[in-house]
Chains A and B, each alone.
Chain A
Amino acid sequence: MTWYEKIGVQLFEPNRDQSPGEVVFFKFFELFIVYYTIKFAWDWGIYTELRNNEVVLSLGLAKYIDISIFFDNQLAIINAAFITLLSIMSYLRFGFKWQYMVVMILLHVQYVARFSQGEIPHSQNLIGMAVFCFAIGAIFFPDKKKMPRFVMGSIIFFIGLGYTSAFFAKLVGTGLTWFDGRHLWLWIGEKSIDILSREGVWEPNFLQSMALKSTIVASIILLIGWFTELIGFTMWFKKIRPFTTMMLIGMHIGITMTMNIRFDAFVMQLILVGFPWYILLDRYIKTTPELLKKIL
Protein backbone atom coordinates (compact mmCIF):
# COMPACT_ATOMS: atom_id res chain seq x y z
CA MET A 1 0.00 0.00 0.00
CA THR A 2 1.42 3.40 -0.96
CA TRP A 3 1.63 6.32 1.48
CA TYR A 4 -1.31 8.11 -0.08
CA GLU A 5 -3.42 4.95 -0.01
CA LYS A 6 -2.68 4.71 3.72
CA ILE A 7 -3.87 8.29 4.19
CA GLY A 8 -6.95 7.40 2.12
CA VAL A 9 -7.75 4.53 4.49
CA GLN A 10 -7.45 6.90 7.48
CA LEU A 11 -9.69 9.51 5.86
CA PHE A 12 -12.34 7.32 4.22
CA GLU A 13 -12.26 4.17 6.38
CA PRO A 14 -13.35 1.80 3.58
CA ASN A 15 -13.28 -1.23 5.90
CA ARG A 16 -15.98 0.15 8.22
CA ASP A 17 -19.59 -0.48 7.21
CA GLN A 18 -22.15 2.33 7.29
CA SER A 19 -24.08 2.46 10.57
CA PRO A 20 -27.39 4.17 11.51
CA GLY A 21 -25.49 6.61 13.74
CA GLU A 22 -23.27 7.60 10.84
CA VAL A 23 -26.28 8.30 8.60
CA VAL A 24 -28.05 10.37 11.27
CA PHE A 25 -24.87 12.32 12.01
CA PHE A 26 -24.13 12.92 8.31
CA LYS A 27 -27.57 14.33 7.56
CA PHE A 28 -27.37 16.50 10.68
CA PHE A 29 -23.96 17.76 9.57
CA GLU A 30 -25.27 18.41 6.05
CA LEU A 31 -28.17 20.36 7.57
CA PHE A 32 -25.66 22.42 9.56
CA ILE A 33 -23.76 23.24 6.36
CA VAL A 34 -26.94 24.04 4.42
CA TYR A 35 -28.15 26.28 7.27
CA TYR A 36 -24.92 28.30 7.28
CA THR A 37 -24.80 28.39 3.47
CA ILE A 38 -28.26 29.95 3.41
CA LYS A 39 -27.45 32.26 6.35
CA PHE A 40 -24.26 33.56 4.73
CA ALA A 41 -25.97 33.95 1.35
CA TRP A 42 -28.63 36.22 2.89
CA ASP A 43 -26.29 38.06 5.28
CA TRP A 44 -23.89 38.85 2.45
CA GLY A 45 -26.68 39.58 -0.03
CA ILE A 46 -28.51 42.04 2.20
CA TYR A 47 -25.27 43.81 3.21
CA THR A 48 -24.19 44.04 -0.43
CA GLU A 49 -27.53 45.49 -1.43
CA LEU A 50 -27.64 48.02 1.41
CA ARG A 51 -24.01 49.05 1.91
CA ASN A 52 -21.75 48.37 -1.05
CA ASN A 53 -21.27 51.26 -3.42
CA GLU A 54 -17.82 50.92 -4.92
CA VAL A 55 -15.47 48.00 -5.57
CA VAL A 56 -12.29 48.41 -3.51
CA LEU A 57 -10.90 44.88 -3.89
CA SER A 58 -11.66 42.38 -6.66
CA LEU A 59 -11.44 38.82 -5.36
CA GLY A 60 -11.82 35.55 -7.29
CA LEU A 61 -14.29 35.79 -10.17
CA ALA A 62 -14.67 39.52 -9.48
CA LYS A 63 -11.37 39.96 -11.31
CA TYR A 64 -13.10 38.94 -14.51
CA ILE A 65 -16.61 40.34 -14.16
CA ASP A 66 -17.90 43.71 -13.00
CA ILE A 67 -19.12 42.59 -9.56
CA SER A 68 -20.65 46.02 -8.88
CA ILE A 69 -23.72 44.91 -10.86
CA PHE A 70 -24.62 42.93 -7.72
CA PHE A 71 -24.84 46.17 -5.70
CA ASP A 72 -28.07 47.19 -7.44
CA ASN A 73 -31.02 45.60 -9.19
CA GLN A 74 -31.60 43.27 -6.22
CA LEU A 75 -29.17 40.83 -7.87
CA ALA A 76 -27.49 39.86 -4.57
CA ILE A 77 -30.93 39.14 -3.10
CA ILE A 78 -31.97 37.09 -6.14
CA ASN A 79 -28.68 35.19 -5.89
CA ALA A 80 -29.39 34.45 -2.22
CA ALA A 81 -32.83 33.13 -3.18
CA PHE A 82 -31.30 30.81 -5.81
CA ILE A 83 -28.69 29.56 -3.33
CA THR A 84 -31.45 28.87 -0.79
CA LEU A 85 -33.60 26.96 -3.28
CA LEU A 86 -30.74 24.89 -4.71
CA SER A 87 -29.30 24.12 -1.24
CA ILE A 88 -32.61 22.79 0.04
CA MET A 89 -33.17 20.77 -3.14
CA SER A 90 -29.65 19.35 -2.86
CA TYR A 91 -30.20 18.43 0.78
CA LEU A 92 -33.36 16.57 -0.15
CA ARG A 93 -31.54 14.96 -3.13
CA PHE A 94 -34.12 16.47 -5.42
CA GLY A 95 -32.68 17.44 -8.78
CA PHE A 96 -29.26 16.82 -10.27
CA LYS A 97 -25.99 15.65 -8.78
CA TRP A 98 -24.12 18.80 -9.86
CA GLN A 99 -26.43 21.13 -7.92
CA TYR A 100 -24.04 21.53 -4.99
CA MET A 101 -21.39 22.71 -7.48
CA VAL A 102 -23.80 25.40 -8.70
CA VAL A 103 -24.42 26.39 -5.05
CA MET A 104 -20.64 26.59 -4.62
CA ILE A 105 -20.20 28.91 -7.60
CA LEU A 106 -23.16 31.13 -6.65
CA LEU A 107 -21.90 31.35 -3.05
CA HIS A 108 -18.45 32.31 -4.35
CA VAL A 109 -20.02 35.12 -6.37
CA GLN A 110 -21.99 36.22 -3.30
CA TYR A 111 -18.77 36.27 -1.25
CA VAL A 112 -16.76 38.30 -3.78
CA ALA A 113 -19.62 40.79 -4.12
CA ARG A 114 -19.96 41.20 -0.35
CA PHE A 115 -16.22 41.32 0.34
CA SER A 116 -15.31 43.66 -2.47
CA GLN A 117 -14.73 46.34 0.16
CA GLY A 118 -11.17 45.35 1.08
CA GLU A 119 -11.59 42.76 3.82
CA ILE A 120 -10.61 39.12 3.17
CA PRO A 121 -12.15 37.22 6.07
CA HIS A 122 -11.50 33.51 6.54
CA SER A 123 -14.06 32.72 9.22
CA GLN A 124 -16.53 31.43 6.63
CA ASN A 125 -13.98 29.39 4.68
CA LEU A 126 -14.71 26.07 6.38
CA ILE A 127 -18.40 26.27 5.46
CA GLY A 128 -17.36 27.07 1.88
CA MET A 129 -14.89 24.18 1.86
CA ALA A 130 -17.63 21.85 3.09
CA VAL A 131 -19.91 22.94 0.22
CA PHE A 132 -16.95 22.35 -2.12
CA CYS A 133 -16.53 18.81 -0.74
CA PHE A 134 -20.28 18.12 -1.00
CA ALA A 135 -20.07 19.27 -4.63
CA ILE A 136 -17.19 16.93 -5.46
CA GLY A 137 -18.70 14.07 -3.47
CA ALA A 138 -22.10 14.39 -5.17
CA ILE A 139 -20.49 14.33 -8.62
CA PHE A 140 -17.88 11.58 -8.17
CA PHE A 141 -19.44 9.46 -5.42
CA PRO A 142 -23.24 9.60 -5.75
CA ASP A 143 -23.52 6.19 -4.03
CA LYS A 144 -25.42 6.47 -0.70
CA LYS A 145 -22.63 4.81 1.27
CA LYS A 146 -19.62 6.38 -0.42
CA MET A 147 -20.77 10.00 -0.60
CA PRO A 148 -20.99 10.57 3.19
CA ARG A 149 -17.65 8.92 3.76
CA PHE A 150 -15.93 10.87 0.96
CA VAL A 151 -17.44 14.19 2.01
CA MET A 152 -16.37 13.86 5.64
CA GLY A 153 -12.92 12.52 4.72
CA SER A 154 -12.24 15.24 2.18
CA ILE A 155 -13.36 17.99 4.59
CA ILE A 156 -10.94 16.63 7.20
CA PHE A 157 -8.21 16.50 4.56
CA PHE A 158 -8.66 20.13 3.55
CA ILE A 159 -8.96 21.36 7.16
CA GLY A 160 -5.68 19.67 8.10
CA LEU A 161 -4.00 20.94 4.96
CA GLY A 162 -5.26 24.49 5.57
CA TYR A 163 -3.81 24.75 9.08
CA THR A 164 -0.44 23.34 8.05
CA SER A 165 -0.44 25.66 5.04
CA ALA A 166 -1.01 28.59 7.41
CA PHE A 167 2.06 27.51 9.42
CA PHE A 168 4.25 27.52 6.31
CA ALA A 169 2.79 30.82 5.07
CA LYS A 170 4.07 32.39 8.33
CA LEU A 171 7.42 30.65 8.07
CA VAL A 172 7.89 31.94 4.50
CA GLY A 173 6.36 35.37 5.19
CA THR A 174 8.37 36.19 8.32
CA GLY A 175 10.78 33.38 9.16
CA LEU A 176 11.56 31.70 12.47
CA THR A 177 11.15 34.98 14.37
CA TRP A 178 7.41 34.97 13.64
CA PHE A 179 6.62 34.09 17.27
CA ASP A 180 8.42 37.16 18.69
CA GLY A 181 5.93 38.41 21.29
CA ARG A 182 6.19 42.03 20.14
CA HIS A 183 4.39 40.97 16.95
CA LEU A 184 1.43 40.02 19.12
CA TRP A 185 1.56 43.49 20.71
CA LEU A 186 1.18 45.02 17.27
CA TRP A 187 -1.76 42.74 16.40
CA ILE A 188 -3.48 43.40 19.72
CA GLY A 189 -3.08 47.14 19.00
CA GLU A 190 -4.48 46.71 15.49
CA LYS A 191 -7.47 44.68 16.63
CA SER A 192 -8.11 47.11 19.50
CA ILE A 193 -8.64 49.83 16.87
CA ASP A 194 -11.16 47.61 15.08
CA ILE A 195 -13.09 47.06 18.31
CA LEU A 196 -12.84 50.75 19.22
CA SER A 197 -14.14 51.66 15.76
CA ARG A 198 -16.97 49.14 16.00
CA GLU A 199 -18.09 49.71 19.60
CA GLY A 200 -16.70 53.11 20.51
CA VAL A 201 -14.81 51.60 23.49
CA TRP A 202 -12.14 48.96 24.11
CA GLU A 203 -10.51 47.57 27.24
CA PRO A 204 -7.88 44.80 27.23
CA ASN A 205 -8.98 41.49 28.76
CA PHE A 206 -6.92 39.40 31.19
CA LEU A 207 -4.95 37.50 28.53
CA GLN A 208 -4.27 40.65 26.48
CA SER A 209 -3.05 42.46 29.59
CA MET A 210 -0.70 39.60 30.43
CA ALA A 211 0.64 39.48 26.86
CA LEU A 212 1.11 43.26 26.72
CA LYS A 213 3.10 43.23 29.97
CA SER A 214 5.57 40.52 28.97
CA THR A 215 7.26 39.62 25.68
CA ILE A 216 7.87 36.12 27.05
CA VAL A 217 4.17 35.49 27.71
CA ALA A 218 3.28 36.96 24.29
CA SER A 219 5.93 34.81 22.59
CA ILE A 220 4.69 31.64 24.30
CA ILE A 221 1.12 32.38 23.18
CA LEU A 222 2.29 32.78 19.57
CA LEU A 223 4.53 29.73 19.70
CA ILE A 224 1.75 27.45 20.97
CA GLY A 225 -0.58 28.72 18.24
CA TRP A 226 2.03 28.31 15.53
CA PHE A 227 2.91 24.78 16.63
CA THR A 228 -0.78 23.86 16.65
CA GLU A 229 -1.07 25.02 13.05
CA LEU A 230 1.95 22.92 12.09
CA ILE A 231 0.38 19.73 13.39
CA GLY A 232 -2.97 20.50 11.70
CA PHE A 233 -2.34 17.76 9.12
CA THR A 234 -2.37 15.12 11.87
CA MET A 235 -6.17 15.41 11.70
CA TRP A 236 -5.85 13.06 8.74
CA PHE A 237 -5.06 10.22 11.14
CA LYS A 238 -8.12 8.75 12.81
CA LYS A 239 -6.68 8.03 16.26
CA ILE A 240 -4.92 11.38 16.64
CA ARG A 241 -7.81 13.42 15.16
CA PRO A 242 -9.75 14.18 18.40
CA PHE A 243 -6.59 15.42 20.14
CA THR A 244 -5.53 17.61 17.22
CA THR A 245 -9.08 18.96 17.04
CA MET A 246 -9.02 19.87 20.73
CA MET A 247 -5.74 21.75 20.24
CA LEU A 248 -7.17 23.59 17.22
CA ILE A 249 -10.28 24.57 19.16
CA GLY A 250 -8.03 25.78 22.00
CA MET A 251 -6.04 27.80 19.50
CA HIS A 252 -9.21 29.48 18.19
CA ILE A 253 -10.28 30.35 21.73
CA GLY A 254 -6.81 31.88 22.18
CA ILE A 255 -7.18 33.87 18.92
CA THR A 256 -10.58 35.14 20.08
CA MET A 257 -9.19 36.21 23.45
CA THR A 258 -6.01 37.85 22.19
CA MET A 259 -7.16 39.33 18.90
CA ASN A 260 -10.94 39.52 19.20
CA ILE A 261 -11.45 37.47 16.05
CA ARG A 262 -14.40 35.11 16.38
CA PHE A 263 -14.76 31.94 14.36
CA ASP A 264 -18.16 30.65 15.54
CA ALA A 265 -19.17 28.53 12.53
CA PHE A 266 -15.55 27.49 12.07
CA VAL A 267 -15.25 26.12 15.63
CA MET A 268 -18.67 24.46 15.54
CA GLN A 269 -17.68 22.71 12.36
CA LEU A 270 -14.39 21.60 13.93
CA ILE A 271 -16.34 20.11 16.84
CA LEU A 272 -18.58 18.25 14.40
CA VAL A 273 -15.90 16.80 12.11
CA GLY A 274 -13.11 16.25 14.64
CA PHE A 275 -14.80 13.65 16.85
CA PRO A 276 -16.40 10.27 15.98
CA TRP A 277 -19.93 11.25 16.97
CA TYR A 278 -21.40 8.24 15.14
CA ILE A 279 -20.05 5.93 17.89
CA LEU A 280 -22.11 7.80 20.48
CA LEU A 281 -25.20 7.88 18.24
CA ASP A 282 -24.94 4.15 17.47
CA ARG A 283 -25.47 3.42 21.16
CA TYR A 284 -28.95 4.87 20.95
CA ILE A 285 -29.97 4.48 17.29
CA LYS A 286 -30.23 0.89 16.11
CA THR A 287 -31.94 1.34 12.71
CA THR A 288 -31.62 4.03 10.07
CA PRO A 289 -34.82 6.13 9.81
CA GLU A 290 -36.57 5.52 6.46
CA LEU A 291 -36.79 9.24 5.69
CA LEU A 292 -33.04 9.66 6.02
CA LYS A 293 -32.41 6.64 3.78
CA LYS A 294 -34.38 8.39 1.04
CA ILE A 295 -32.47 11.67 1.25
CA LEU A 296 -29.01 10.20 1.84
Chain B
Amino acid sequence: MDPSFSKRGMKVLGVSLLVYALLVAPHQGEFWPLSIYPMFSQAGNPWTRAMILDVTNKPDADLWERQPLNSRESDVVAVSDYGVDQIDFSNFVVKTQNWTQTRQKALKDMFGTSAIENERWMVSKVRGELIGSDSVSIEITPFILLTPDSTYLNPNLQAEVYGGTD
Protein backbone atom coordinates (compact mmCIF):
# COMPACT_ATOMS: atom_id res chain seq x y z
CA MET B 1 0.00 0.00 0.00
CA ASP B 2 1.47 3.37 -0.88
CA PRO B 3 2.98 5.15 2.14
CA SER B 4 1.22 8.45 1.45
CA PHE B 5 -2.10 6.71 2.15
CA SER B 6 -1.97 7.16 5.92
CA LYS B 7 -1.00 10.82 5.51
CA ARG B 8 -3.99 11.43 3.23
CA GLY B 9 -6.14 9.39 5.60
CA MET B 10 -5.25 11.73 8.47
CA LYS B 11 -6.04 14.77 6.32
CA VAL B 12 -9.47 13.35 5.49
CA LEU B 13 -9.98 12.60 9.20
CA GLY B 14 -8.93 16.17 10.01
CA VAL B 15 -11.53 17.62 7.64
CA SER B 16 -14.15 15.19 8.99
CA LEU B 17 -13.29 16.32 12.50
CA LEU B 18 -13.77 19.95 11.47
CA VAL B 19 -17.19 19.11 10.02
CA TYR B 20 -17.90 17.18 13.25
CA ALA B 21 -17.07 20.26 15.36
CA LEU B 22 -19.08 22.60 13.12
CA LEU B 23 -22.14 20.35 13.39
CA VAL B 24 -22.10 19.63 17.14
CA ALA B 25 -21.11 23.15 18.29
CA PRO B 26 -24.40 24.90 17.40
CA HIS B 27 -26.52 21.87 18.39
CA GLN B 28 -25.72 21.53 22.13
CA GLY B 29 -23.09 18.87 21.44
CA GLU B 30 -25.44 16.48 19.61
CA PHE B 31 -25.84 15.93 15.88
CA TRP B 32 -26.39 12.19 15.65
CA PRO B 33 -24.25 10.19 15.37
CA LEU B 34 -21.77 12.97 16.10
CA SER B 35 -21.63 13.84 19.79
CA ILE B 36 -19.37 15.20 22.50
CA TYR B 37 -20.94 12.53 24.75
CA PRO B 38 -22.12 14.84 27.53
CA MET B 39 -24.19 12.16 29.32
CA PHE B 40 -23.71 12.14 33.09
CA SER B 41 -21.41 15.16 32.83
CA GLN B 42 -23.33 17.20 35.41
CA ALA B 43 -23.22 15.15 38.58
CA GLY B 44 -25.07 15.72 41.83
CA ASN B 45 -28.03 17.63 40.39
CA PRO B 46 -31.58 16.72 41.42
CA TRP B 47 -33.45 14.75 38.76
CA THR B 48 -37.09 14.30 37.81
CA ARG B 49 -38.52 11.22 36.07
CA ALA B 50 -42.05 9.93 35.60
CA MET B 51 -44.05 6.80 36.32
CA ILE B 52 -47.67 5.72 36.37
CA LEU B 53 -49.45 4.50 39.48
CA ASP B 54 -52.62 2.46 39.31
CA VAL B 55 -54.97 4.45 41.60
CA THR B 56 -58.18 2.69 40.63
CA ASN B 57 -58.93 1.69 44.23
CA LYS B 58 -57.45 4.71 45.94
CA PRO B 59 -59.94 7.00 47.77
CA ASP B 60 -60.51 10.30 45.94
CA ALA B 61 -59.46 12.26 49.03
CA ASP B 62 -55.92 10.79 48.88
CA LEU B 63 -55.45 10.92 45.10
CA TRP B 64 -53.31 14.04 44.93
CA GLU B 65 -51.12 13.52 47.99
CA ARG B 66 -47.36 13.53 47.63
CA GLN B 67 -45.58 10.47 49.00
CA PRO B 68 -42.05 9.12 49.43
CA LEU B 69 -41.19 6.36 46.94
CA ASN B 70 -40.58 3.79 49.67
CA SER B 71 -44.00 4.23 51.27
CA ARG B 72 -46.14 4.33 48.12
CA GLU B 73 -49.36 2.32 48.36
CA SER B 74 -50.27 1.95 44.70
CA ASP B 75 -48.82 -0.48 42.15
CA VAL B 76 -46.69 0.87 39.35
CA VAL B 77 -48.08 0.38 35.82
CA ALA B 78 -45.40 -1.22 33.62
CA VAL B 79 -45.36 0.95 30.50
CA SER B 80 -43.52 -1.74 28.53
CA ASP B 81 -46.73 -3.81 28.68
CA TYR B 82 -48.19 -1.20 26.32
CA GLY B 83 -45.20 -1.08 23.96
CA VAL B 84 -44.12 2.32 25.30
CA ASP B 85 -40.46 3.22 25.83
CA GLN B 86 -40.21 4.34 29.47
CA ILE B 87 -37.58 6.98 28.69
CA ASP B 88 -39.80 8.51 26.01
CA PHE B 89 -42.72 8.51 28.42
CA SER B 90 -40.64 10.08 31.17
CA ASN B 91 -39.23 12.78 28.93
CA PHE B 92 -42.65 13.52 27.50
CA VAL B 93 -44.01 14.15 30.99
CA VAL B 94 -41.00 16.01 32.38
CA LYS B 95 -40.04 18.14 29.37
CA THR B 96 -43.50 19.24 28.24
CA GLN B 97 -43.89 22.91 29.14
CA ASN B 98 -47.48 23.61 28.12
CA TRP B 99 -50.02 20.94 28.98
CA THR B 100 -52.55 21.82 26.33
CA GLN B 101 -55.56 19.55 25.76
CA THR B 102 -53.76 18.21 22.69
CA ARG B 103 -50.68 17.35 24.75
CA GLN B 104 -52.79 15.67 27.45
CA LYS B 105 -54.54 13.60 24.80
CA ALA B 106 -51.17 12.71 23.21
CA LEU B 107 -50.01 11.43 26.62
CA LYS B 108 -53.06 9.20 26.91
CA ASP B 109 -52.87 8.06 23.28
CA MET B 110 -49.26 7.01 23.80
CA PHE B 111 -50.65 3.85 25.43
CA GLY B 112 -53.21 3.17 22.73
CA THR B 113 -56.67 4.64 22.51
CA SER B 114 -58.32 1.88 24.59
CA ALA B 115 -55.54 1.07 27.07
CA ILE B 116 -57.43 2.44 30.08
CA GLU B 117 -60.72 0.59 30.36
CA ASN B 118 -61.96 0.47 33.92
CA GLU B 119 -58.89 1.84 35.67
CA ARG B 120 -57.58 5.19 36.83
CA TRP B 121 -53.93 5.88 36.16
CA MET B 122 -51.98 8.60 37.94
CA VAL B 123 -49.13 9.93 35.83
CA SER B 124 -46.67 11.06 38.49
CA LYS B 125 -43.45 12.98 38.58
CA VAL B 126 -40.69 11.46 40.70
CA ARG B 127 -37.97 13.73 42.03
CA GLY B 128 -34.66 12.62 43.50
CA GLU B 129 -32.11 14.75 45.33
CA LEU B 130 -29.21 14.45 47.73
CA ILE B 131 -30.18 15.22 51.32
CA GLY B 132 -27.34 16.15 53.65
CA SER B 133 -24.17 14.18 53.20
CA ASP B 134 -25.40 10.64 53.23
CA SER B 135 -28.84 10.07 51.77
CA VAL B 136 -31.01 10.41 48.66
CA SER B 137 -34.63 11.49 48.88
CA ILE B 138 -37.09 10.25 46.22
CA GLU B 139 -40.61 11.74 46.29
CA ILE B 140 -43.66 11.07 44.10
CA THR B 141 -45.90 13.97 43.04
CA PRO B 142 -49.25 13.09 41.37
CA PHE B 143 -49.40 15.08 38.12
CA ILE B 144 -52.11 14.05 35.67
CA LEU B 145 -54.95 11.59 36.28
CA LEU B 146 -55.94 9.49 33.26
CA THR B 147 -59.41 7.94 33.21
CA PRO B 148 -61.22 6.13 30.37
CA ASP B 149 -63.03 9.35 29.47
CA SER B 150 -60.81 12.23 30.44
CA THR B 151 -57.65 13.69 31.97
CA TYR B 152 -57.39 15.76 35.18
CA LEU B 153 -54.62 18.03 36.41
CA ASN B 154 -53.48 18.09 40.04
CA PRO B 155 -55.58 20.82 41.76
CA ASN B 156 -52.92 21.22 44.45
CA LEU B 157 -50.27 22.35 41.97
CA GLN B 158 -50.08 25.92 40.72
CA ALA B 159 -51.39 26.54 37.19
CA GLU B 160 -47.93 27.70 36.09
CA VAL B 161 -46.65 24.15 36.54
CA TYR B 162 -48.80 23.14 33.57
CA GLY B 163 -47.89 26.19 31.46
CA GLY B 164 -50.53 27.68 29.18
CA THR B 165 -53.28 25.12 28.82
CA ASP B 166 -56.11 25.62 26.33
| Contact assessment for A190 and B128 in the assembled complex, using a CB-CB cutoff below 8 Å | yes
- Considering only residues 109-142 of chain B, those with a C-beta below 8 Å from chain A are 109-110, 126, 128-130, 133-134, 136, 138
Contact of B9 among A12, A16, A50 (CB under 8 A): A12
Q: Which residues from chain A contact B134 at a C-beta distance below 8 Å?
A: 182, 215
| Contact assessment for A150 and B12 in the assembled complex, using a CB-CB cutoff below 8 Å | yes
| Contact assessment for B38 and A194 in the assembled complex, using a CB-CB cutoff below 8 Å | no
B51 to chain A, nearest CB (A): 4
1/0 contact trace for A1-41 toward B, CB 8 Å? 00011011101111111100000000000000000000000
- Bound form: Cα–Cα A197–B54 in Å: 12
| Contact assessment for A165 and B37 in the assembled complex, using a CB-CB cutoff below 8 Å | yes
- Bound form: Cα–Cα A115–B87 in Å: 10
B152 adjacent to chain A (CB < 8 Å): no
Q: Which residues from chain B contact A8 at a C-beta distance below 8 Å?
A: 6-7, 9-10
Count, A-B residue pairs, CB within 8 A: 218
1/0 contact trace for A200-212 toward B, CB 8 Å? 1100000000000
Number of B interface residues, CB 8 Å? 72
Contact of B44 among A149, A180, A198 (CB under 8 A): A180
1/0 contact trace for A124-157 toward B, CB 8 Å? 1111110110001000110001100110011001
Residues on A lying within 8 angstroms of B by beta carbon are 4-5, 7-9, 11-18, 47, 50-51, 53-54, 56-57, 59-60, 63, 108, 111-112, 115, 117-122, 124-129, 131-132, 136, 140-141, 145-146, 149-150, 153-154, 157, 161-163, 165-166, 169-170, 172-174, 177-178, 180, 182-183, 185-187, 189-190, 193-201, 215
